[in-house]
Amino acid sequence: MRKHHIIAPDTERKPSTTLSPQKTPGTPSTRNAMTSNGDSVNGMSLSAFDSSSTIPLWLDGKEVKLSSTFDVISPLDQKTLYKASAANEQDALKAIASAEKALKSWSKTKPSFRRDVFLRAAEGFKKRNDEQKHYSYTETGAAESMFAFEHNLAYEACLSVAGLVHTASISTMPVAGEEGFNAMVLKEPYGVVLGIAPWNAPNVLGLRAFLQPLAMGNTVILKGPEFAPATYWALSSILHEAGLPAGCLNTLYHRPADAASVTSTLISHPSIKKINFTGSTAVGSIIASQAGKFLKPCVMELGGKAPAIVCEDADIQTAALQCALGAFLHAGQICMATERILVHAKVANAFRSALHQTMDQVFASDAQGGLGVPQLVTALPVTKNKALLADAVSKGATAIYGDPHHSEASTTKMRPVVIENVKPDMDIYHTESFGPTVSLYVVQSDDEAVGIANDTDYGLSSSVYTEDLRRGLKIARQIESGAVHINTMTVHDEAALPHGGVKKSGFGRFNGIPGLEEWVRTKVITWKD
């Protein structure tokens, strides 16, 4: 039996707006701008935690520390940041019981009540920006540009959902076919929802795993990644500060060794009615198969192999910049990252030159105003990408930017590499690299480009670069992808736009009205006059 410590009310972390000049135990002492290394300002920590801390779970509106823990290691220096409470099957059952209890009242709240919670949460995101930036940087190595991108998406998502919740909740009264009969179509929440979210864009991906289900009257169990528990703690903290009732959102993290047992316990429980998952296709396949065994619906955003097609009439400088950013933002650790660049032969030389110059500028050292060498979350993706490059080079691929054999002093950093002459027998042709590598292909026509773009199991995002909108739209209609962005990078997300993939990139949609409608089921009621 493990000991559970519930933080007493008089020592709970207070909202950032009520912090006194004296540091309350367990609270960040400042929300001011972070230093370049993400540690502190004027010697005062931005974090609610230090190396002696244990990050609690959120269960039934309380912060619960467990005696079973795991170390959270920073990719920046491989040092232990703190410990995190490690949930087991019994903790999962407690989270379910809490969510079941809260569902009875939360499902009956008015859309305006939920709207106001989300509006206050949006303000919480603004006020705690620097604290959240600290967690993202120290836990995942996210550059400031990446954090700004995804944190703003999370803020906008709160506003978007708040604005759409009334519309998404409207029931209808279609005209019944038989004389004297009437019909009503109601929208009802599913019940308790399981959200499983990743580490790579933890603020927006963590938020969307519970925000849209909550908006439609469901309660949620959020299973977060072991790499970013403080970030997920902060998400739940902000929602509770905003007035979310106890039990509506319960958070769990666990040791990797316990992933199968905890996840199976959650999926198999009769009270879990629907699941959303964002992560790798391999893990998504396991979760979908388990959910299918119990006939439970899922929303899934999985891996990607995003193509960028550069036509001969493209603005080459724009295409080069957008492809560089799309491929290497956050070290390529984004499911929408550009993995294949398909360039028309007529502009191939010009594009190579522009891409090389752009890469030199964008990834110049910090001192030169660039992003520096990309930081990855662990050494494992570095090893994976080097193996993909080694296989490709051994089979005839050539590097046109970067050195496939280069090694950094840090095992969690890797310089960008662009390779050419990639063939279908090379592992990198089919495998999502999820790292700082991209393949360039020279094509003779739009049809050839579309053929290569579609020659993959994935279909999440894509780009087309052309100055002819009609041409861009024609190509966009042929690409098998959940999204096509004309003259902008493949990494594109907006709170109001439905987001999701086709093929092995997943099914269902997040964001916008379609994202909200995923979390209600319809009930038909008929009656006779």
Main-chain dihedrals φ then ψ at residue 198, nearest 5 degrees: -95, -175
Three-state SS for 138-164 is HHHCCCHHHHHHHHHHHHHHHHHHHHH
Laid out side by side, the sheet with 249-252 consists of 4-6, 62-66, 57-59, 249-252, 219-223, 192-196, 272-278, 298-301, 506-507
Query: Residue 132's pLDDT is what?
Result: 97
Q: What is the DSSP letter of 176?
A: P
pLDDT of residue 529: 87
Tally Cβ neighbours within 10 Å of residue 369: 10
344 vs 215: CA distance, rounded Å = 46
Question: What pLDDT, on a 0 to 100 scale, did the predictor assign at position 133?
Answer: 97
**Topology adopted by domain 306-494:** Aldehyde Dehydrogenase; Chain A, domain 2 (3.40.309)
- Class (C level, CATH) for 54-302+508-523: alpha beta
301 is catalytic: yes
DSSP 6-66: EPPGGGSPPPGGG--SSPPTTS-S--SPPPTTSSEETTEESSS--TT-EEPEEETTEEEEE
Contact by Cβ (8 Å): 515, 509? yes
Active-site pick, 241, 301, 420, 432: 301
- Yes or no: say if 466 and 450 are a contact pair by the CB < 8 Å rule: no
State both tokens at 521.
């089921």
pLDDT in tens, the chain (529 residues): 444 443 433 333 333 322 222 233 333 433 333 433 445 544 456 899 999 999 999 999 999 999 999 999 999 999 999 999 999 999 999 999 999 999 999 999 999 999 999 999 999 999 999 999 999 999 999 999 999 999 999 999 999 999 999 999 999 999 999 999 999 999 999 999 999 999 999 999 999 999 999 999 999 999 999 999 999 999 999 999 999 999 999 999 999 999 999 999 999 999 999 999 999 999 999 999 999 999 999 999 999 999 999 999 999 999 999 999 999 999 999 999 999 999 999 999 999 999 999 999 999 987 888 889 999 999 999 999 999 999 999 999 999 999 999 999 999 999 999 999 999 999 999 999 999 999 999 999 999 999 999 999 999 999 999 999 999 999 999 999 999 999 999 999 999 999 999 999 999 999 999 999 999 999 999 999 8
Give the Cα separation of 417 and 408 in Å (integer): 13
Q: Where do you find CATH 3.40.605.10 in the chain?
A: 54-302+508-523
Q: For residue 335, which of 284, 380, 390 has the smallest C-alpha distance?
A: 284
Intervals of CATH 3.40.309.10 along the chain: 306-494
SS3 433: coil
- What is the model's pLDDT at position 40? 55
